[in-house]
Amino acid sequence: MFSRLASTLLPAPARWAVYAAAACALLSVGEIDGQRRAGQAHIDYVNAQAQRTVVISKAQAKVVIQTEVKYRNRIKTVYLKGETIERQVPLFVIPGDDTAFGVNAGFVRAYNAAWSGDDPGPAVESDREPAGIRSLKLRKPTPTTPPVAAPGASNPLAGSTTTSG
């Protein structure tokens, strides 16, 4: 009945145009729905990626905090052990050994540079010369006690320590 009515009201080319228009309308509706689904899939992907990024950031922060705590604890341990060793030097270095074995100028230069935080620089020939300082005289410099200086040294923190003689 519908086909007979359509054939009497519309000629064949017009009918085909209506069919084509209906097909294009259905195709565009399907494409819009597909784009909506693809857009939603992209939004879901971006949300999942953001959640993974948050998880990774939290894990990295946890690792950084744990590493910093371990590093700080290790620094404390090193300083405590270093202070213990410094306090025990007079117990292990007896006065006879202290007078028999001197400290060379290179050791004094490196020692002073280590306490001041400066770079001692490369070794120089004058580093082999005796500094004229007993090992028990070495101490941590404080604001009231300057770094250990070799007798006759112009600047104990300079790259070349010389002794007069």
pLDDT in tens, 19-38: 888 888 877 777 777 677 77
pTM: 0.35
Q: pLDDT (tens digit, 9 = 90+) per residue, 82-115?
A: 788 777 777 777 777 777 777 888 888 888 888 7
Neighbours of 160 (CB within 10 A): 16
**Distance from the first to the final alpha carbon of the chain:** 129
